[in-house]
């Protein structure tokens, strides 16, 4: 009786195994019919600004229904292209992560169109203890003496002059994968041409400080800055009244008029004749009578 039960269990196990094998074979056959295309992927980690070489790439089969936009089928299409964003090993190389064709390698390939790269000196305090890393965003603050009107004392002021500035590189490193703080002596920022002029003037008139900000916070806040008097709760002195210059009207030049010529001397005689008066005058010089 025991042998019959054992044989029955063995037979049941064989049937279950056969069903599982048939199901697995059917599943594998279905997987083999999934359409796929060749996609170029990276065989090593490619840092931003690096020029792509054939040794960095390979092609793999990628399911057609999940191919990302901007992929490449042939590694030859990526010859001498430069990446402007880091590509990880096994990741598909996308056109959106590449600089325009003909771009040379280096930091210049990472700079956005219409932007400039400018480097400022920093220390462990100015550089936010080394947390201002490539890919982060900072505000730039300047502490300087503000010029005032003549006769007034210059006042010290601290003001934010630039906001939401991208850090391109720290020292000579532009990689954005490392999150470990690095205390460096120089930080390279991505700026517009107008902001580059502001930063150049700011670092020449005062001391710069970098203020680390949230990467997703794009809001700008306009401030008037703060002076030393305001910091300690003192009122700013009233501006001195501007003295108005009094101009004395210039007298018009005196025009000397010519005196009229003197009338010639005359002798006059009044003659009354038949009730009519007649005046007779004689010029002394000409001895002529004038009526």
Measured between alpha carbons, how far is residue 34 from residues 37, 74, 79 in Å?
Answer: 10, 21, 30
Q: Where are the alpha helices (DSSP H) in the chain?
A: 2-32, 193-205, 228-231
Contact of 178 with 133, CB cutoff 8 Å: yes
Residue 199 has a pLDDT of: 92
CB burial class (10 A; 0-12, 13-18, 19+) of residue 46?
A: buried
pLDDT confidence bin for 229, thresholds 50/70/90: confident
The set of residues, in sequence order, having a beta carbon less than 8 Å from that of 45 and lying 6+ positions away, is: 86, 87, 88, 89, 177
pLDDT confidence bin for 238, thresholds 50/70/90: low
Average pLDDT, the chain: 80
- DSSP secondary-structure letter at 178? -
Whether 291 has a pLDDT exceeding 70, the answer reads no
Structure tokens belonging to residue 60: 């793999």
Higher pLDDT, 137 or 259: 137
Q: Which fold has domain 36-108?
A: Type Iii Antifreeze Protein Isoform Hplc 12 (3.90.1210)
Residue 171 has a pLDDT of: 84
pLDDT digits 0-9 by tens, 19-64? 888 887 777 666 655 677 889 999 998 888 888 888 999 999 888 8
Mean pLDDT for 185-209 is 91
Determine the 3-state secondary structure of 142 from DSSP. strand
Longest pairwise C-alpha distance within the chain: 198
The set of residues, in sequence order, having a beta carbon less than 8 Å from that of 229 and lying 6+ positions away, is: 155, 235, 236
Q: How many residues does the chain have?
A: 291
Residue 85 has a pLDDT of: 82
pLDDT confidence bin for 263, thresholds 50/70/90: low
Residue 97 has a pLDDT of: 86
pLDDT confidence bin for 139, thresholds 50/70/90: very high
**pTM (2 d.p.):** 0.61
The set of residues, in sequence order, having a beta carbon less than 8 Å from that of 61 and lying 6+ positions away, is: 36, 37, 38, 39
Extents of the domains making up the chain: 1-30, 36-108, 115-231, 264-291
């Amino acid at each position: 009786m025991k042998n019959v039960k054992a044989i029955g269990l063995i037979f049941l196990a064989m049937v279950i195994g056969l069903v599982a094998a048939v199901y697995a074979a059917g599943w594998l056959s279905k997987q083999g019919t999934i359409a796929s295309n060749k996609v170029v992927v990276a065989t090593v980690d490619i840092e931003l600004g690096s020029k792509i070489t054939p040794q960095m790439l390979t092609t793999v089969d990628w399911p057609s229904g999940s191919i990302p936009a901007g992929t490449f089928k042939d590694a030859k299409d990526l010859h001498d292209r430069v990446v402007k964003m880091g590509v990880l090993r096994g990741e598909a190389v996308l056109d959106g992560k590449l600089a325009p064709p003909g771009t040379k390698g280096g930091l210049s390939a990472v700079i956005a169109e219409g932007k400039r790269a400018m480097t400022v000196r920093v220390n462990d305090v100015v550089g936010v203890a080394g947390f201002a890393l490539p890919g982060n965003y900072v505000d730039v603050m300047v502490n300087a003496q503000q010029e005032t009107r003549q006769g007034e004392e210059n006042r010290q002021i601290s003001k934010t002059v630039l906001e939401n500035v991208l850090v391109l590189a720290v020292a000579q490193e532009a990689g954005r994968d490392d999150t470990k703080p690095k205390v460096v002596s120089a930080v390279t920022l991505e700026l517009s041409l107008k902001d580059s002029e502001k930063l150049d003037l700011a670092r020449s008139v005062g001391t710069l400080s970098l203020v680390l900000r949230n990467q997703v916070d794009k809001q700008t806040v306009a401030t008037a800055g703060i002076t030393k008097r305001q910091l300690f709760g003192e009122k700013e002195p009233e501006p001195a009244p501007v003295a108005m210059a009094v101009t004395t009207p210039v007298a018009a030049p005196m025009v000397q008029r010519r005196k009229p010529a003197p009338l010639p001397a005359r002798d006059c005689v009044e003659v009354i004749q038949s009730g009519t008066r007649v005046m007779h005058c004689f010029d002394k010089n000409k001895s002529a009578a004038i009526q």
